[in-house]
Amino acid sequence: MKLVFSKWRRKRGMALLLALVSVMALAIIAAGLYESSQASWEENTLSRARFQAGILAESGLSIALHPDIEPGDFALRHELAPGRSWEVRITSEGGRFPVNSMGEERLRTAVVDMFVLWGLDAATASRAADSIADWIDSDSDPLPNGAENTYYAGVDYPQFPPNTDITSIEELVFVAGMDEVEQIQPFWRDYFTVRSDALIDFNAASLELVQALTGATADAAANFVAVRKGDDGIDGTVDDYVFDDIGEVQALLGISESEWEEFSSFVTLEGTVRRIESTGRVGEFAETRVILAEEVTENNRTTLRPLARFRE
């Protein structure tokens, strides 16, 4: 009888132990599922916020594409609800340097000067600028400081240069000398374009570009850009001063008539390609969409024709 009772106690103890082990295992599994579900929930929340911010950015673009909308219009800043809004900035793509015009010596010199203003030495700046021109020209003869196929073949890129227009700013990454430019100015992409009307718009051009192209003093160029941006110091807002008189620009920059004539054919005060940057926000999350649109006038009616769109 004692033996039977002892066996029964052992079995009961084993059953209890198994039960405890099972409970612990279930607890571990439950904890793991909880953590996994929490991570998944947070990830889904983030995805939803970003998606909604993107929708708001697209809404801003739709409004900005109306041809009657001007920079600083109240409709370009809108809050649908607390923490949910869009903000659109409209500038001219002509404020960036038309890289496919680098075949023009005067413009190439301006790019060299801009690189030097960033802090590059003159020899390296000239190498990068000449190499960009060699990248797009139709011949195989390098400029004095440039690079053609012989150079690129020597660094295992025998397919370069394509000797045709650049279609994406990212192509410049492969151009000789641009690696050194990037070390000095990581945001160099913000200064070039392949989508403008090939004219530099002085109502949007950067301080460095204005100074490099005109040869104006640093103080004169800074004063010109400050007047243009208005009290808030930001391009593309309601208080911007829009120049429509070349004489006024010359006076602010301290440029004589003869000096202006040297580059007048490369500049404008009314670029035809708009750069529309729309940022949607949901809480702390933001998504930006960009459209480049060309102004087209037909039958006395002006419309905007999209040329490109991308995310930032």
**Alpha carbon separation from 306 to 41, 138, 274 (Å, rounded):** 38, 29, 9
- 119-175 pLDDT tens trace: 999 999 999 999 999 999 999 999 999 999 999 999 998 999 999 999 999 999 999
Does residue 136 sit in the same domain as residue 172?
Answer: yes
Phi-psi region of 195 (alpha: psi -120 to 50; beta: other; left: phi over 0): alpha
Tell me what the mean pLDDT of segment 234-253 comes to: 90
Cα–Cα distance, 144 to 141 (Å, whole number): 9
Specify the residue for token string 């059953």: 15
Please report whether residue 129 resides in a domain: yes
Q: What is the CATH number of the domain that holds 156?
A: 1.10.40.60
pTM over 0.85: no
Task: Write down which residue in 169, 192, 215 finishes a domain.
Answer: 192
Does residue 57 sit in the same domain as residue 115?
Answer: no
Task: Write down which residue in 167, 192, 217 finishes a domain.
Answer: 192
DSSP-assigned states of every residue in 267-296: EESS-SEEEEEEEEEETTEEEEEEEEEEEE
Does residue 59 sit in the same domain as residue 112?
Answer: no
Does residue 83 sit in the same domain as residue 102?
Answer: no
Does residue 105 sit in the same domain as residue 161?
Answer: yes
Q: Is the dihedral of CA 268, 269, 271, 274 positive or negative?
A: positive
- 211-234 pLDDT tens trace: 999 999 999 999 999 999 999 888
Give yes or no for a contact between 152 and 75, defined as CB atoms under 8 angstroms apart: no
- Residues contacting residue 190 through CB under 8 Å, at least 6 positions apart: 96
Domain count, the chain: 2
pLDDT of 312? 80
Domain around 286: 53-93+274-311
Specify the residue for token string 């602010």: 252
Please report whether residue 237 resides in a domain: no
Task: Write down which residue in 168, 192, 216 finishes a domain.
Answer: 192
- 63-122 pLDDT tens trace: 998 878 888 788 899 898 899 999 999 999 999 999 999 999 999 999 999 999 999 999
Does residue 81 sit in the same domain as residue 128?
Answer: no
